[in-house]
């Protein structure tokens, strides 16, 4: 096995959904555009559709023959890229407990455990090292620095610097900047979720990421925007395995976000700073509380 064909399988599944809505498919380049893959992959998908008698394919004509059935789809486990699998598996190990700071990380062992080659694990660890949770001893093992209190404090310190600066930039964005429209959308979503908080509070995590990323992007600084990756990944996995009081916590955060959004809208740097500080403070407390 040289390369996993997850790109094919994932695009195939998405294409199957498109197929459900029309009687004929567009041109190959157009499909490639829609699915975010090359024509080579599009053609592989179309070939498979033809084999399974989903479409009749003759050059430019791709007419739908039948609706897709549930078993036409590839199982979702097979559509995750190797990098995603490794990431999830690794994050589970270090965030869901059982991993003490100072522990050694063994590439070979990890690879065996995940059922993959060492190269992919190695590349993952290199990419992951920028998050400050692991460190390499050259010619030797990696060391787990651990998701500790210090880590959380260092992370939030930088986050606060960056987000305060980004918020300050945000308020002075020109009125026709696309960020304002996005902010409106995000605000609406906040209100929707808040109105039905009991059943929809789980959607907060994703919305939180979207909102803060939007704020960070106002900085127009690649280092600030890139740093948000670290925050996002930590919060993402952290919340996934730490669900105490999720409902109340999320409700409170949503309210804070709304106040923060209003402050941004006011174009008043002072108000924005205040609202930003208030929210970051409680985000910090939440994070710290959940560390043993």
- Under the criterion CB under 7 A, does residue 43 sit at the interface with DNA? yes
Judged by CB under 7 A, the stretch of 55-63, 161-169, 230-238, 283-291 that binds DNA is 55-63
Identify the DSSP state of 267.
T
Residue from 17, 26, 32, 30 nearest 67 by CA = 17
Using CB under 7 A, pick the residue from 19, 37, 91, 183 that binds DNA. 37
Cα end-to-end span (Å), the chain: 42
Q: In this complex, which beta carbon is closest to a second copy, that of residue 165 or of residue 200?
A: 165
In the complex, least distance from residue 135 CB atom to a second copy, rounded to whole angstroms: 9
Whole-angstrom distance, CA of residue 210 vs CA of residue 183 = 10
Q: In this complex, which beta carbon is closest to DNA, that of residue 30 or of residue 255?
A: 30
Whole-angstrom distance, CA of residue 187 vs CA of residue 2 = 45
Using CB under 7 A, pick the residue from 22, 63, 76, 106 that binds DNA. 106
DSSP for 113-141 reads HHTS-HHHHHHHHHHHGGGSSEEE-TTS-
- Under the criterion CB under 7 A, does residue 99 sit at the interface with DNA? no
Which partner, a second copy, DNA, none, binds residue 292 by CB below 5 to 8 Å per kind? none
Q: In this complex, which beta carbon is closest to DNA, that of residue 101 or of residue 269?
A: 101
DSSP for 206-239 reads HHHHHHHHHHHHTT--HHHHHHHHHHHHHHHHHH
Q: In this complex, which beta carbon is closest to DNA, that of residue 41 or of residue 219?
A: 41
**Residue carrying structure tokens 């651990």:** 146
- Under the criterion CB under 7 A, does residue 109 sit at the interface with DNA? yes
What residue ranges bind a second copy (CB under 8 A)?
7, 119, 122-123, 126-127, 130, 132, 139, 151, 154-155, 157-158, 161, 165, 220-224, 226-227, 230
Residue from 242, 255, 244 nearest 282 by CA = 255
Using CB under 7 A, pick the residue from 49, 94, 116, 215 that binds DNA. 116
Give the three-class secondary structure for 81.
coil
In the complex, least distance from residue 237 CB atom to a second copy, rounded to whole angstroms: 18
Whole-angstrom distance, CA of residue 168 vs CA of residue 95 = 33
Let me know: does 129 contact 135? Beta carbons within 8 Å: yes
In the complex, least distance from residue 133 CB atom to a second copy, rounded to whole angstroms: 10
Query: What are 134's strand-pairing partners?
Result: 144
- Under the criterion CB under 7 A, does residue 8 sit at the interface with DNA? yes
In the complex, least distance from residue 9 CB atom to DNA, rounded to whole angstroms: 7
- Under the criterion CB under 7 A, does residue 220 sit at the interface with DNA? no
Whole-angstrom distance, CA of residue 128 vs CA of residue 83 = 11
Residue ranges in contact with DNA by CB under 7 A: 1-9, 26-30, 37-41, 43-44, 59-60, 62, 81-83, 105-109, 116-120, 122-123, 136-142
């Amino acid at each position: 096995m040289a390369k996993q064909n997850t790109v094919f399988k994932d695009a195939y599944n998405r294409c199957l959904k498109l197929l459900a809505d029309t009687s004929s498919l567009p041109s190959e380049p157009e499909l490639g555009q829609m699915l975010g893959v090359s024509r080579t992959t599009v053609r592989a998908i179309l070939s498979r559709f033809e084999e399974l008698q989903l479409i009749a394919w003759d050059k430019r004509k791709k007419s739908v023959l039948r609706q897709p059935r549930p078993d036409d789809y590839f199982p979702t486990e097979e559509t995750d890229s190797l990098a995603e699998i490794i990431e999830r598996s690794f994050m589970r190990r270090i965030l869901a407990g059982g991993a003490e700071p100072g522990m050694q990380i063994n590439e070979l062992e990890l690879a065996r455990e995940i059922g993959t080659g060492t190269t992919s694990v190695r590349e993952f660890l290199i990419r992951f090292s920028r998050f400050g949770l692991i460190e390499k001893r050259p010619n030797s093992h990696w060391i787990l620095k651990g998701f500790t209190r210090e880590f959380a404090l260092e992370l939030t310190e930088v986050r606060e610097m960056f987000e305060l600066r980004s918020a300050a930039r945000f308020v002075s964005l020109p009125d026709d900047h696309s960020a304002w429209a996005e902010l409106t959308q995000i605000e609406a979503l906040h209100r929707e979720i808040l109105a039905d908080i009991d059943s929809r509070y789980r959607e907060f995590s994703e919305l939180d990421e979207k909102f803060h990323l939007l704020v960070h992007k106002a900085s127009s600084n690649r280092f600030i925007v890139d740093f948000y990756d670290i925050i996002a990944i930590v919060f993402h996995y952290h919340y996934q395995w730490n669900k105490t009081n999720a409902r109340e916590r999320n409700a409170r955060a949503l309210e804070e976000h709304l106040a923060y959004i209003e402050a941004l809208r006011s174009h008043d740097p002072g108000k924005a700073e205040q609202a930003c500080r208030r929210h970051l403070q409680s985000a910090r407390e939440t994070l710290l509380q959940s560390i043993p």
